[in-house]
Structure 1
Amino acid sequence: MAAPTKTLSVADQLDQLQAARKLALTTPVYYEKIVKGVLPIIGPTAPIELRRWGAEFLAESLATPVLAKNEKESLTIAVLDTIKALLESGDDDPIVLKASIGAAASAYPIVVRWIIFNSYHPDPWEQMSAIKSRVFRIWDTAPPPVKLACIKFAQRIVLAQTVSNGQEARLYPGLDVSLGMITGSHPILDPRRMEAEATGLLDRMLGVLQDNSSDALLVDGTLNCLSILIRTRPSTSNRIINCILNFNPLKLANSPMTPKTKVLVKSMEKTTRMLLIHIIKRDPNFQPGAPGSQQLGRIQQYIQRLERSKTEIFDEAGRKRALADQSSAQYGDTKRQRTETPAAVAVTIPPLGPGPHRYSALYTITNNAGLQSFDATQVPHQLATRIVVKTLSSISQGVLDFAIAGIRDRLKTFQPAPTPSFAGAPPPGAINPATAPLGVEEGDDDYEPNFNAAEDTEQILNKLDNAPPEVPLDHTEALDLGPFTLPSPPLLDPDTAIRLAQAAASRLFGPLSSLKEEGSRKPRAGINRLAASSYDRESWLTVVTRLATRSTAGLESNFKKEETGRLALNDTLREMLFVYILEDWRRRIEVAVAWLCEEWYNDQLIKLSGSGAPLNYEKYALRLIDGFLNYITPQDKVLTRFLAEIPELSRELLGKCKTLCGDPTTVNLTLTSMLYLVMMRPPVRAIALDTVAEIWQEYVDARPLAAKYLTKWRPGFIESQTIGQSSAAASA
């Protein structure tokens, strides 16, 4: 009994379909297989989500420019039945209808070209005719997005069923399908009937402009479809130009101007104006001396009139209002009546009252309590300077003199009164009771004076005579300083030392974000370049790489077994360099090459010295190539450059590159890189050819190109392998 088939949910099916779409986008050769494979899944009976995805995928597939003409014809003929079924299904979903009509618009000229040369098979034309009839029936009643798709479909029909001027055919051979390709004796296509149908469709498209429609979406969509018709179909250009010149995109401005109305009017006006400007500047049919030059003056006048009307409508708010009634002019404009200048209020500077005062109160001459309490120190110096300069330049000299005089009057109140000297003054020996000095007995004051008399001059001289003599100091001895030693730093445990080393290493990468790269490329100085000779990004990176590789050069190092597991400063810098390069490896491939050159040079010095230190070149070269192999694309020539510029190649390193041949898109890149090594690096020619031989043996998709290189550079290898395989098969 067979096991029941597991049914996938709609979400799982969409995920699988999306993965198939991504594969088709990255590898266009799978387009036809994928499109034909999904047709049974996206039919009219499928869930709405699958139909929406399928209709959009068909529209995208038929519009892609990467397919060749024959492939697109085969693909278009295969999907016509599905497009017809999606359009004629009972569920008129707007998304399905819009995408299906877009796919039909891309398919129509392809079907016309196919039926011109394959009149013996009329089924595709009958299917396209049914699609055309369905689109014309739903055009007027469809929602706006579907109407826009219908307008695009009508434009492609008009292009295919009118005579071309040949410009597109010269620029894009085989892509411009026009009525001129159809002969009068064609068994299926009638040129006269097709031209009449195109004329009717053009009139239907222009009806939006002839009716002065206020639907900005339809107007803009129609105008955007007319440019190519004017440029490549001379039989339609005059009719389209006359219709545009009779169209008034500012008609909505007569209604109340709401924000929505303003947006709609501006959109239609700009689209119309830009289309006409494009015609004047770019279209050779409307240049002076061309067949359409008689319309040139009308177009320029229309553009000028449109700009004036737009200015009058949207710039009215910035103008001054007129008087409401002209009769009020005799009474004058009350808003502009000149009033007499009020008399200036006399300013007084009040004197300071009794009591202590702040220094700031001395210079405060305003009576406003709010200004008096304002802290002027909070104002920034630049702003305060501007205010002071502006104020001093605007006040008069009289006001300034008045303020200075007021401040001087206040200062006088702080000065003590002078001692009076007149005839009635008391004699100098008299004692004023109010100012009697201490020690004078008067009345009943209980005061005990200090009877310890101060030393006189004679007593002071006697003390100095009895003092010991002063010993003069030796100047040399006084200035002689003793030995000075800095205190020894505290001992660091290994964990703290490693943490500080990591912090120091991270600070080395700080300036890289602010340093600029050189604008013009200059020759590289190589391994002998001077580090930090110029303060730019390259010099700083040279410092970092040499600190990572040779920071302990010339120092004796004893490598202990217990220290091998710890990250030293060098290893920390190496890890940070590795991360820095992989963050943007395409642009920083030069940094990677410079770093590996320094590592290789350091390894050679270690080998010569015999110190037993670990070698790092091979380790980090393999890590770097592992880091960016997953992101290699067929256009990445940096792989060839990386392999060509690093100083040493090994079998293991080239074996990493060999894995790229698992992707068919990168086979050419891998083998081209190996060929470059064979031709330009003779020391590694044997290793590179061995890698190509392994690729030939392990990857079937890479055999044609690998065999081509091996036949030239290793003759007889393919024959020996073929004979060996034949003998092995015979013995088996």
Structure 2
Amino acid sequence: MSLSEMDQLYRARKLAMENSPDQMLPKVLETSASLYISEGTTPQLKLELARFTPHLLLDVITHENIGSSQKPFIASQHLNCLWSVCRNVKDSIAYKYSVLAFSASYPLLFELVAKTSNQEMWDTMQQMKAFILSKWNTTYPLQLNSDDNDPFLNDRKNIGSRLATAKFLSEIIIVHTSRNGNNIKAGPISISSVPDGHPVISNKQQLESEAKKFLDILLNYLIEEPMMVSSVFIGILNCLAFIMKQRSQATMRILSGLLKFNVDAKYQADDLSVLNYRLGKRFVERCYKNFVQFGLKSQIIKNSGQMASQHMKLSKISQTLHVIGEETKSKGILNFDAEQVENKMAAKDKQKYASLRRRQMASKNGHNASPSITSVNVGATSSTPQPGQTPVDMNPAEKPSDNVTQLLMDLQRYTMSKNNIAVFFNNSPVAIDNSYCAIYSLMNSKNSEQDMAKLPQDIMIKLCSEAFFKTDTTKMISGLSIVASRYTDLVNKASQQQQQQQQQQAGKKRKVDQHDDGQSSTKKVKKEEEIELRAAQGENYEDEADEDDYYDEIKDTNKNDVELIKPVPMTEDERMKHLHRIVQHIMSAKDSDESSGITTNMGKDQNPLEKVKLLHWNNKESWLHILTRLCTRGVSHQDKMSELIRQILYDYFMEDFNGRIGMALEWLGEEWYYESLAKDLPVNYTNYDQWSIKFLEGLIPFLENQHRRIFIRLMSELPRIEQQHIDKVRPICLDPARSSLGFQTLKFLVMFRPPVKPLVKKLLEQIKAEDSTIEEQCNSILNKYYQ
């Protein structure tokens, strides 16, 4: 068959689609698959067939006229062909359709394995799953362009494969997550359909944990990807909507990740125009809004229980995005200032990303790179890598040093050489010594020559977590029993030694007391004889004897008394100075990189303060939580110390109000909440009113029209608004250059915060009487919303 005859296959597929697809399409698929695996097929023809066959398989699996009972057998029949295309053909079209076809086939194959216990089919599925996952954060099957200075250009060339992988991950998440009993529409295929103790799909808990990891991969891409890749963002949001609909127990995890997805923080690519960047951003915002509206209307995002907080926040975000969309629609998408919209990454940041991404992609594309023991191979079912299986590389920010890499490679070689051992090397219930190594080591520590203490703590945590994840429960319990036996033996030995020491000390004490009693009685007899002798000679030493006894008594008393030194109280200035230093150290922790510091500071002198810092700030705003609680509840609520902390926070927010408005709202919310708990009635909001007004007064002179979203968010999310807060918008409304900002903010408050409508009305009537030039703008709001 020649390349010209490929047209016959295309015509046959078209004809089968139009006439009897349930009978003709599987035959065309069988013909193309047999030609692909044939040894006589030329490389050029094999490439065409590699593109054609997965695409046709996808059409067959998704065709509505083909019976659902027939589809699992068609998918299983062509699974090996699909795996061959995915693994061997480095073509973006062939790889994309092979991943999409496997994604559509996976639920059918999973159900077939659950019913037939086909071990070979399950192993092939696991190998293909691990291979696809390992290519998630790479440019595969495209080759890396190492001459390009843009580290993100290759990613944007491979969007089709990334979207197909995202679809595949979402399908596995749905299948590997248990189906809720009350969710009738969840579908028949899930991990719940597999009975306990299945001979092939045995570790159901491991598969469910794997599904959570895959969900984190999708959420982390939304959060951590620095560039505006709108197509991938929209695709992932759509996948998350399907996951949330079919597996409602994942909703909280999805919403928590979605709240960290900051569309405004994504940078513009160098090869994209400002208009394309603006369009892409607008499309993502619209998809974000539609996602939230879908969850609210279908009542998947509930306004009750633990989800109430996410419901409130996402509702506000959706309303804000709706207002932005309506305003953009009224003005026109082409009506914008390019300088204000442009948002490109700094050159130094891009250089840092460039070197890291090139090393990562080169190693994953197989450029003579050795696999790392720290790679997370979530698809493997055993400790040995399967054919065609590539481990998933670690985060580039967590790349170990060369020495650590060598240690990990040595450990990998050692563990891989012992992978057939079914029992522990060292199962003795008695430890060779009282060190932690001897207690916990289940290897032959004398011959392994593996010093785990040299590895950084973050890598040790990854190794341990992966070991726990992949270890059989029975084996884990057996290992813990050995460790417990060693602890019990050492505790018993220590108790016996302590008793022996106490007995020896008691015996020595008795001997010393007997010796002291003998010496004191002998001394007393001698002293009495001396006094009698001198008294006979006419001398009186009675006073001298009493004086000696007195000094002996004082000497014995001083042995037990300890002089107490009371510290000198700090002055007010010293207290303020120390508090200021403490606050600065807490704030400086947000800029430090503790995880990398574990590796880079090894063997070097370390600041003593660094040793007591928290090593992992999972939430980058933990310092803010500490300081807001400190000024409201830690120190006196209204003294100089709390005012000092508030002033430092205020200065910090004013340095970059554009990027720190969310943190400022969190601080003011804490002030309001604490004062709301006051026991005296009515509640006194002294500190909240003072600092919220001060923040508005400091912010308003710097606000421009491009800060519309920030100011609307500030005014809409303030926990308490009084007339004095509304009056602060007066200078903006009276400023001809910024009046649109003020009136848009007031209009937003009237629409979405009804309790402040009377306050806004009062302000509009006042400024309307003051300045006749803004009368039309005031009347537009008053006539529309106050009639």
Same fold by TM-score, threshold 0.5 exceeded? no
Structure whose alpha-carbon radius of gyration is higher: 1
Q: Which has the higher contact order (CA 8 A, sep 6+)?
A: 2
TM-score scaled by structure 2?
0.37
Q: Write 1 or 2 for the structure with the bigger share of helix.
A: 2
